[in-house]
Structure 1
């Protein structure tokens, strides 16, 4: 039985989801969605007026919607925050989970610029540009290009989601702390530790510990 491990705000994680945090597994949208909610409601709760974390399902909907529909969705969100963080997936189906790669799209409303952080050297460039086009529906005058930021290339085919979570956390901390940070400072050891950290965060908010 795929028991529920944690029910946290809008995130519900089952045993099979948490198992993906073991080394060698590609993490899914549920893990990323949980961590973005953890950032919003706990780690960076004092930054809610300036930072917006998008749920992966919402980003997927925006990506595959028409420009007009995406614009209506974004308008309904009343995005007043300056910094927007959007996890990008290469899945081309709206109703079917999947995909092979995660990356991070970042938007700064003040400078009206987009940045793309991709640990597979631009594998999600098409998707990031597609989503940025949707955002321009509600932020006219934004840059017409997406800056590809340097990120250490992942050494395997499964750590991309961990990179997204780690880069998001580090980038938010630098923005609100007023210090400069570059994704090139990430190490493979840090990414490995982050898997363990995420699992601990999840289990610390659970009343049911997963059995082996």
Structure 2
């Protein structure tokens, strides 16, 4: 496994000193973490000034636009999408179970700690936040709001979280791109500052909406979709990828929601032109996913401003903890992003050389175990904290 190095003079690069690379400490399997707690939120999170999350105009527009533009209600449309995604995940889980049963090398599943209590806390926290926001909006706009309405829970910069988004944090729900986008936005606003970590300008986070456009649009248009000026300064680019069914990949009806059925994480290294893939539901001989990833590689290769013309990206499947249900793939993407961002920005300070602050960085997370229920709860509590301001 290639070990990357950070130092204050060269930034991120490959260190060719074999002795230096061999000194990278191996991480032992630990108690499952929720990913979010890898980052020092309490130290750096700056809460916005207290404002109303929704204006009267926004409230009216949100309700009328949804009734006029769509024949199906929001709940009906959401239910159809949810059933479709669950069925796709069930197919993947069934194939994975068949592989495990036919092999003695099955993936060990680490049980969540006190899952029943965590689920109960998730439900009670959800109900408390939703009812609190409902009362707040009723008081602000002096009108009754039905609990079935899809009202806004939080607005953070350009990211709006509605009740239907917030509901995806409950147990057995498939989280959507808005929740992932919120976490990415929070990471950028909180930690991507040179005063916090000098390496922040060499890491970029692409939002799910941009990654989805990359999958839909032809190669000739991809470079125009990307923030090329920022990416040119980068060494690592994070891509939350929502794998799309063959029936949908050629559709241009992409609207505002991601329409795939399985989240994975890609990290593009512009140091050595590799695309690292972290998949929490790995299947052997998954040719459909492999083909989609190869298509993404080709589209990224078409961006000659970032990747030298004729250079081929090397696709590398990284070993990572595996989910044991149909609905946690998006949660795993969030947990892995948070864990690796912490490794890249802060890492192990004890490794740092005094003169150049040189330290080793590995993208290997094979021994790290994750707690998805704890992550769902941590995101809910983070949203609750933001709502207080």
TM-score (norm 1): 0.87
Q: 2:364 aligns with which of 182, 199, 206?
A: 182
Secondary structure at the residue paired with 2:160?
strand
Alignment correspondent of 2:221:
69
Alignment correspondent of 1:89:
242
Alignment correspondent of 2:385:
204
Q: 2:302 aligns with which of 137, 141, 153?
A: 137
After the TM superposition, which residues 85-164 of structure 1 pair with which residues of structure 2 at under 5 Å, given as runs?
85-91=238-244, 92=249, 93-94=251-252, 95-96=254-255, 97=257, 98-121=259-282, 124-138=289-303, 139-140=307-308, 142-164=311-333
The question of whether the paired residues in 2 share the 8 Å contact of 1:170 and 1:181 is answered with: no
The question of whether the paired residues in 2 share the 8 Å contact of 1:107 and 1:113 is answered with: yes
Q: CA deviation at 1:4?
A: 0.8
**Farther off after superposition, 23-32 or 38-47:** 38-47
The question of whether the paired residues in 2 share the 8 Å contact of 1:114 and 1:143 is answered with: no
* CA distance in structure 2 between the partners assigned to 1:193 and 1:113 by the alignment: 31
The question of whether the paired residues in 1 share the 8 Å contact of 2:192 and 2:201 is answered with: no
Over aligned residue pairs, what C-alpha RMSD do you find? 2.1
Q: CA deviation at 1:42?
A: 1.0
Q: Say if 1:77 and 1:28 are closer, same or farther in 2 by CA, change over 3 A.
A: farther
Q: Deviations over 1:106-149 (max 9, x none)?
A: 01111221101111115643333222222212212654331011
Alignment correspondent of 1:60:
212
TM-score (norm 2): 0.50
Q: Deviations over 1:43-86 (max 9, x none)?
A: 44445401111110111001111111002323655412211000
Q: Say if 1:181 and 1:106 are closer, same or farther in 2 by CA, change over 3 A.
A: closer
Q: CA deviation at 1:31?
A: 0.6
Alignment correspondent of 2:165:
17
Q: Say if 1:207 and 1:200 are closer, same or farther in 2 by CA, change over 3 A.
A: same
The question of whether the paired residues in 1 share the 8 Å contact of 2:273 and 2:314 is answered with: no
The question of whether the paired residues in 1 share the 8 Å contact of 2:207 and 2:239 is answered with: yes
**Which ranges in structure 2 are unaligned for 5 or more consecutive residues?**
1-148, 348-359
* CA distance in structure 2 between the partners assigned to 1:200 and 1:63 by the alignment: 33
Q: Say if 1:57 and 1:181 are closer, same or farther in 2 by CA, change over 3 A.
A: closer
* Higher normalized contact order (CA 8 Å, seq sep 6+, divided by chain length): 2
* CA distance in structure 2 between the partners assigned to 1:12 and 1:39 by the alignment: 16
Alignment correspondent of 1:168:
337
Say whether residues 1:3 and 2:151 are aligned partners: yes
